[in-house]
């Protein structure tokens, strides 16, 4: 399986990193080796002094598809969750300034946290979902999926014009404002509509 991530999908986060608003979604991939398995904690790697959390709404692809029309996108996923796109911001800034690919800063082992999955039928409207991240009990990121520049159905359609979507693939839909550093001993908790979806420790 593969993980397809969307960058710059919330205006407030684009401003925060002083990026330009893109005309099309920014896409990048994480390999399956980046996933944190078996409820393990996130271990801060030696190669970065500035690991950031990025809370994102995620979806799991349930059907094989390519060139999916937006009106059919909803048939290609059943489950929603929360993910953290851990980012070595110091490495990423360096790579970006040199015009180089981001992979070392975004796709390293442990950079992909995936919560438990919830059937989308449990929600009235996936385009109107409140979700938030608490760090050490304090809310640091809080948004609603209606704030996305490109909605889930648009993303599935757009992504599938470049990458065949396979069963089990995961899409990270981008992070809102409020990204920040994690340190050893921190605790992260994710919520959708006030339901706690995950609890993750930083080691
Ligand atoms: Zn991200």
What spacing in Å lies between the alpha carbon of 106 and ligand 1's midpoint? 8
Name the residue among 56, 101, 65 with its Cα closest to residue 192. Answer: 56
pLDDT in tens, the chain (203 residues): 999 999 989 988 777 777 777 889 999 999 999 999 988 999 999 999 999 999 999 999 999 999 999 999 999 999 999 999 999 999 999 999 999 999 999 999 999 999 999 999 999 999 999 999 999 999 999 999 999 999 999 999 999 999 999 999 999 999 999 999 999 999 999 999 989 999 999 99
Three-class SS of residue 164?
A: coil
pTM higher than 0.85, yes or no?
A: yes
What spacing in Å lies between the alpha carbon of 164 and ligand 1's midpoint? 21
What spacing in Å lies between the alpha carbon of 187 and ligand 1's midpoint? 19
Element (H, E) at 171: strand 170-172
Name the residue among 166, 5, 146 with its Cα closest to residue 85. Answer: 5
**Virtual CA dihedral for 128, 106, 17, 156, nearest 10 degrees?**
-30
User: Domains of the chain by range and CATH?
Assistant: 3-201 (3.90.850.10)
Residue 167 CA, chain-centre distance (Å), reads 18
What spacing in Å lies between the alpha carbon of 69 and ligand 1's midpoint? 24
What spacing in Å lies between the alpha carbon of 37 and ligand 1's midpoint? 19
What spacing in Å lies between the alpha carbon of 7 and ligand 1's midpoint? 6
What spacing in Å lies between the alpha carbon of 150 and ligand 1's midpoint? 14
């Amino acid at each position: 399986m593969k993980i397809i991530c969307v960058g710059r999908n919330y205006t407030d986060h684009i401003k925060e990193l002083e990026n330009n608003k893109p005309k099309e979604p920014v896409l990048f991939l994480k390999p399956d080796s980046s996933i944190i398995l078996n409820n393990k904690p996130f271990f801060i790697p030696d190669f970065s002094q500035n690991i950031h959390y990025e809370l994102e709404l995620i979806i799991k692809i349930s059907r094989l598809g390519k060139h999916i029309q937006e009106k059919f996108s909803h048939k290609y996923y059943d489950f929603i969750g929360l993910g953290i796109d851990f980012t070595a911001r110091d490495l990423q800034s360096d790579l970006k300034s040199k015009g180089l690919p981001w992979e070392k800063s975004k796709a390293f082992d442990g950079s992909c946290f995936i919560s438990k999955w919830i059937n989308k039928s449990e929600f009235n409207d996936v385009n109107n979902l409140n979700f938030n991240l608490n760090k050490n009990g304090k809310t640091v990121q809080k948004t609603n999926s209606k704030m996305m520049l490109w909605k889930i159905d648009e993303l599935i359609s757009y992504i599938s014009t470049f990458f065949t979507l396979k069963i089990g693939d995961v899409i990270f839909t981008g992070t809102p404002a409020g990204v920040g550093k994690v340190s050893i001993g921190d605790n992260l908790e994710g919520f959708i509509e006030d339901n706690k979806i995950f609890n993750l420790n930083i080691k």
